[in-house]
Homo-oligomer: A and B are copies of this chain.
Amino acid sequence: MPQVIDFRVDPANYRHWQVEYAGPVATLSMDVDEQGGLFEGYELKLNSYDLGVDIELNDVVQRMRFEHPEVKVVVLRSGKENVFCAGANIRMLGGAAHSHKVNFCKFTNETRNAFEAAEQDSGQQYIAAVKGACAGGGYELALACNHIMLTDDSTSAVGLPEVPLLAVLPGTGGLTRITDKRKVRRDIADIFCSIEEGVKGQRAKDWRLVDEVIVNSKFNDTVSARALEFAKNSSKADTDAGITFEPLARTHTEDSVSWSVVSVEIDRAGRKAVFTIKGPDEAASATMAEFQSLGDQAYMVRLCRELEDAILHMRLNEMEIGLWVIRTEGDPELFTGHEALLADNADHWLANEVRQYWKRTLKRLDVTSRSLVAFIEHGSCFVGVLAEILFSVDRSYMMDGEFEDDDRALATIKLTEANFGPYPMGNGLTRLQTRFLGEPEQVDAAKAAMGNALDAQAADKIGLATVILDDIDWDDEVRIFVEERASFSPDAMTGMEANLRFAGPETMETRIFGRLTAWQNWIFIRPNAVGENGALQRYGTGVRGEFDLDRV
């Protein structure tokens, strides 16, 4: 494995994707470099993908929103003949550690969700133009699009052959999108998921697996026509030019990573990492025009990019660091101004994109399989969207009253409109609504306190902090918590957190991360799949897997 998996990529260096921009329509071609795998030991044949391919895809999706706001429709196609995409690379899956597999799947799921979010957030739609074999993760890519068009020829088929071929699930949302997005009848889904070779032509349409089937000779023209039609009917407003995401600078030491306003200090012996988020140094721009002229250096953009990179870096590179402590430092009033500019201009395309980006980044935190805790210390800056972090983490500890030899401003929490709507969780509720499912009147109490700098006593009264501690207790209590958490089974923590974090309604997102992923995790460590004689290990040998026959 490479020393560090790096999520920062530059379009100039893409190995697997090409994007052509033509006004409101962008064409995204998947053309995976067989030799471009992230790890040794496999070739990315037939447009199969590994994490490296998906890192580039995530970058495309992200830049499409910020750098190309003129794009209303993205056409996803293959750059290869006869194959659309064969899905996740089997040899990579067979050789990867369980923890890598699971985090790889989480990231790919987030990218697929970002396809769907593009329409919900910004009216940007995805069309899958499927020519050639479209199997497993390949079909899951198509499923994440708004519209699926399939060529009617002898080689083009959509399929989810994971179960019969590999004895694992279509785990990148496949099963969930089949039942809940495309609403395929369950017995037909059962047949579909048992067919190795997939489903072609009209039958794919009849089974609700694709939206259109088009004869090969007319396929390209029809795709172009459909893209223009979607663009014409798009709800997305015409906008001026986007902003550019320049390469993100960061510095490493053995036990730390630092960006401009985010840093992570790793305590390997204690199995924890401390994330520090710094508030802005300067006042916010006065107008969105000024904000936009700053490009990716506007504080709210820069912070979000750095926080996202920190989350992804730590998730994939530091598996043994089971506890993330999140703290902030800064001037709450200054931060309030930066956030308010975006809130006051929520209809401005760029303000909207920045807010939606924060929404997605907070969701990444929600589904991160690490114990999360916030320390609300003196001098901290938990305001609005940063206060959302307090309701994303598993617990928070807040300093109460003066601390000896500590001349920082007293710890406060300040709620803003950010905490009451614009950043819903995957379950569709705000974090405060989820937090107070049993005491909905507390959401009103929180709303009434909007704009106030709430000290520990006031925050505790509304239920915003988990534990408030004075100078006498802080060090001991916090230390005990950190040590206790490190002593628990990482698996039990993962399962517990996955169940406690998402009360209330379920959505396709919560199902994908909660139910589908949980089953896949289980299957991914069963000998029937990954054992020496399991189907995943034997794939390609011509010998089928041998199975322990016990049902659970």
Interface residues of A (CB under 8 A from B): 97-99, 102-103, 162-164, 167-169, 175-176, 178-180, 182-191, 193-194, 208, 271, 319-322, 369-370, 393-396, 434-439, 463, 466, 484-485, 487-501, 503-506, 511, 514-516, 518-523, 525-526, 528-529, 534-535, 544-545, 547-552
Q: How far is the CA of A516 from the CA of B184 in the complex (A)?
A: 25
Q: Which chain B residue shows the least CB distance to A548? A: B490
Assess whether A496 is in contact with B550, with CB atoms less than 8 Å apart: no
Q: Are A394 and B186 in contact (CB under 8 A)?
A: yes
A-B contact pairs, 30 of them (CB 8 A): A99-B552, A167-B489, A167-B491, A169-B496, A180-B437, A180-B503, A182-B438, A185-B436, A186-B501, A187-B393, A190-B394, A190-B496, A190-B497, A191-B395, A191-B466, A194-B485, A319-B549, A319-B552, A320-B549, A321-B551, A369-B552, A489-B523, A490-B550, A490-B552, A491-B528, A491-B529, A495-B520, A506-B506, A515-B515, A522-B522
| Contact indicator B515/A550 (Cβ below 8 Å) | no
Q: Are B550 and A99 in contact (CB under 8 A)?
A: yes
The answer to whether B369 and A500 have CB atoms under 8 Å apart is: no
Name the B residues within 8 Å of A493 (CB-CB).
163, 551
The one of B369, B495, B515 that contacts A523, using a Cβ cutoff of 8 Å: B495
Given A190-B500, A495-B522: 20 more A-B contacts, CB < 8 Å: A103-B552, A163-B492, A163-B493, A175-B499, A183-B437, A185-B463, A186-B500, A189-B500, A190-B395, A190-B466, A191-B466, A208-B438, A320-B551, A321-B551, A322-B551, A489-B535, A490-B549, A494-B552, A499-B516, A505-B506
A372: nearest chain-B partner, CB-CB: B190
> Cβ of A396: which chain B residues have Cβ within 8 Å of it?
187
Shortest beta-carbon distance, A551 to chain B, in Å? 5
CA distance in complex: A497, B393 (Å): 32
Copies in the complex: 2
Cα A168 to Cα B493 in complex, Å, equals 9
CB contact between A179 and one of B163, B494, B499, B550 (< 8 Å): that residue: B499
* Chain B min CB distance to A530 (Å): 10
**Contact: A492 with B523, CB < 8 Å?**
yes
What CA separation (Å) do A184 and B185 show in the bound complex? 36
Residue of B at shortest CB range from A517?
B518
A193 to chain B: which residues have CB within 8 Å?
Answer: 496, 500
Please determine whether B163 and A489 come into contact, CB atoms closer than 8 angstroms: yes
Q: CB-nearest residue of chain B relative to A507? A: B506
- B434 and A167 contact, CB distance less than 8 A: no
A548 to B549 Cα, complex, angstroms: 28
In the assembled complex, the Cα of A243 lies from the Cα of B544 at a distance in Å of: 54
Measured CA separation A255–B267 after assembly (Å): 60
